[in-house]
Structure 1
């Protein structure tokens, strides 16, 4: 065996060993420049969560209790910011002129847009010449082509035969339903979204209960659901959503997907590729 080949194999084993060490230490893996921000956010979240749990165990009250609430809120914001950065780099989430606006309500029009991105159909919607069905979301409304396209495909419904209410807030159950449809669960409806999300592996029971029970479903809540969806297997079981977007649809750039840490190279006969893929899957599960 040549020295070059030996160094390559040794390097691959060192990479695998390094990934194992990362999982054992419960830290966040970042393989690239933009994912570093996400990793830093996740590490801060873990530290804040640990401090939060310790103080709660000690029965913090009064001023300390108020500080706990603030710590938890800051940790939650950092976590969602990191996920938003990853979705943004994958071209699956955009902000507004005011930034991500993660603390703002998530609207029905925004839900239609996110659904198309998760389906890899955003370009199709922009290029399609669909006649508007709803007067309140016809051109020049910014999301007119998205609403028309998703309705024509039977993916969304209006609040009536003539109105879509595009700027009305979307509920957690409604967006989880759309996300499940992107995962291949065409039968998904808001009434059973929580239970189906758990069955599909999209959310834990606690997460599903919290998100569907929220009075106000915000943009940061949407970011969390969309982020988790990327590493969730489709109903067919053949691929995760990010694998479909990269390998089947070509809607997400492969290099960007690899850099995000949410996507692994297609399977090969190299055992180290299988080890690396398994480790990445374990890391993605640990981030939830």
Structure 2
């Protein structure tokens, strides 16, 4: 699938920022907060009801949600009612995002039937 160069740059920047948020240290707190605000302004990183939770780790589910938003496909993913092949993904929005991403070929599970949505986000080819 061909993507424009700006889309790929935005994807790389956003994923780099998400990963950097998950490994923050106190000295970088202000930088991380600024990056979180930037991603929020783009509609890519919404945080939780309690703020951005920058002390937490980025998970595989977070990565799928971010990827879907970066690609501009969240409005298509959220109402997705196709099958989600992973038994460890909660019903509702997690299942919609993950099932959609799987159907599009954006992700695979850690096995044929599990996704490990709470597992650490990593880059693998």
**TM exceeding 0.5:** yes
1:73 to 3, 15, 26: 26
Aligned: 1:164 with 2:118: no
Rg bigger for which structure? 1
May I ask how many residue pairs the two structures share in their alignment?
101
Q: Given that residues 86 and 114 in structure 2 are in contact (C-alpha distance below 8 angstroms), is that contact kept between their aligned partners in structure 1?
A: yes
TM superposition shift of 1:154: 0.6
Q: Given that residues 132 and 138 in structure 1 are in contact (C-alpha distance below 8 angstroms), is that contact kept between their aligned partners in structure 2?
A: no
> Which SS does the other structure have where 1:157 is aligned?
coil
Q: Given that residues 108 and 167 in structure 1 are in contact (C-alpha distance below 8 angstroms), is that contact kept between their aligned partners in structure 2?
A: yes
Corresponding residue for residue 147 of structure 1: 98
Summarize deviations over 1:172-227 as a string: whole Å, max 9, x none.
x24xxxxxxxxxxxxxx1xxxxxxxxxxxxxxxxxxxxxxxxxxxxxxxxxxxxxx
C-alpha RMSD of the superposition: 1.6
TM superposition shift of 1:79: 1.0
TM superposition shift of 1:108: 0.6
Question: 2: distance between equivalents of 1:101 and 1:138?
Answer: 21
Summarize deviations over 1:116-173 as a string: whole Å, max 9, x none.
0111111110122221211111414x411000000111110100001001111112x2
> Which SS does the other structure have where 2:121 is aligned?
coil
- Larger RCO: Structure 1 or Structure 2 (Cα < 8 Å, ≥ 6 residues apart)? 2
Give runs of aligned pairs for residues 119-268 of structure 1, distance below 5 A: 119-140=71-92, 142-171=93-122, 173-174=123-124, 189=125
Q: Mind listing any 5+ residue stretches in structure 1 that lack a counterpart?
A: 1-71, 175-188, 190-288
Corresponding residue for residue 99 of structure 1: 51
Aligned: 1:83 with 2:39: no
Q: Mind listing any 5+ residue stretches in structure 2 that lack a counterpart?
A: 1-24
Question: 2: distance between equivalents of 1:163 and 1:82?
Answer: 35
Corresponding residue for residue 109 of structure 1: 61
Structure 1 runs of 4+ aligned residues shifted over 2 Å read: none
